Amino acid sequence: MTATQPVHLVRPAPVHVHPSSERWSVEAIEALFALPFNDLIFRAQQVHREHFDANAVQRSTLLSIKTGGCPEDCAYCPQSVHHDTGVEADKLMDVATVRQAAQAAAAAGATRFCMGAAWREPKDRDIEKVVELVREVKSLGLEACCTLGMLSKPQAQALKEAGVDYYNHNLDTSPEAYGRIISTRVYEERLQTLAHVRDAGMNVCCGGIVGMGESRRERAGLVAQLANLDPHPESVPINELVQVEGTPLAGSEKLDPFEFVRTIAVARITMPTAYVRLSAGRQEMGDAIQALCFLAGANSIFYGDKLLTTGNPDVERDEALFERLGLKSA
């Protein structure tokens, strides 16, 4: 994003929280981040064990079914037409190719198959084609997840009727930091799509990206937005920025690995029944940091050698790490 591009930053619509639930303030979440590391991890592990098997990790595979050519200007994304990253725009994959990829994912132990398309918002004819792909994935006994950009209410309903279990639409960052990262879509539009997904009866997969130059308070602001959704998302992917040459965020200062672990722990405490997923950035993490993330409450990973256009640890490396840690598939 250049200095000449307009920055549209709006305050998000009020988030309604069920009266019986605790609303997490940004200040309360900042206080969690500020706990001594051992105390924070201990508290997160306690919450985790109340709701999940502490040694089980859910595995999802992500496939880019339509790569590149996105009109959005997200500063982290190599698929944006605004950035010269060498990513070519492709057409939507055909049914046979997606089925083959889904079969391979199932054979490797994945239980959820996520399909991502680089659209700002799909057209109705695009949804019709995606519906075919979803039915193929479901026929293999896998959970189906889609991330296609903004959805209208009828589009969300069509995906639900096709069998989509989860719809992913990340908030990316806090409202305060959002305008530094994206100018082509406002925060309210993201929240509106999440409302359409929830109203259609699909599970919500929603998280964000850390390491984009945000402050700790802004990280706390992202977690607050997620935790105060009513209800909080069933799946919360926590991504660490993967720096891609040609994007505005290439060359950014790397996030302290322990700060990433803290973010996992805070997400676990504030969203106790969510699957907290280690997503982008795992390839750059050492095994020890990943182990700390599982200790902090992460219980889902993206599984396979690629996430849309960026690398991911291969299946053999993950299997070896799981064996060393005594982790099993959820």
Half-sphere exposure of 32 (CA within 13 A, CB side): 25
Active-site residue (options: 43, 112, 145, 185):
145
Active-site residue (options: 43, 112, 114, 262):
114
- Residue 220 CA to residue 320 CA, distance in Å, equals 33
Annotated catalytic residue 145: yes
| Residues facing residue 168 across a β-bridge | 205
Classify strands 300-302 and 56-66 as parallel, antiparallel or unpaired.
parallel
* Cα angle 147-149-154, degrees, rounded to a multiple of 5: 95
Annotated catalytic residue 293: no
Active-site residue (options: 74, 146, 206, 293):
74
Q: How many CB atoms lie within 10 A of CB 257?
A: 17
Active-site residue (options: 43, 59, 190, 205):
205
Annotated catalytic residue 146: no
- Residue 26 CA to residue 222 CA, distance in Å, equals 9
Annotated catalytic residue 277: yes
Active-site residue (options: 70, 146, 206, 293):
70
Annotated catalytic residue 206: no
Active-site residue (options: 43, 112, 268, 277):
277
Q: How many CB atoms lie within 10 A of CB 161?
A: 12
Annotated catalytic residue 217: no
* Cα angle 241-246-248, degrees, rounded to a multiple of 5: 60
Q: Give the active site residues.
A: 70, 74, 77, 114, 145, 205, 277
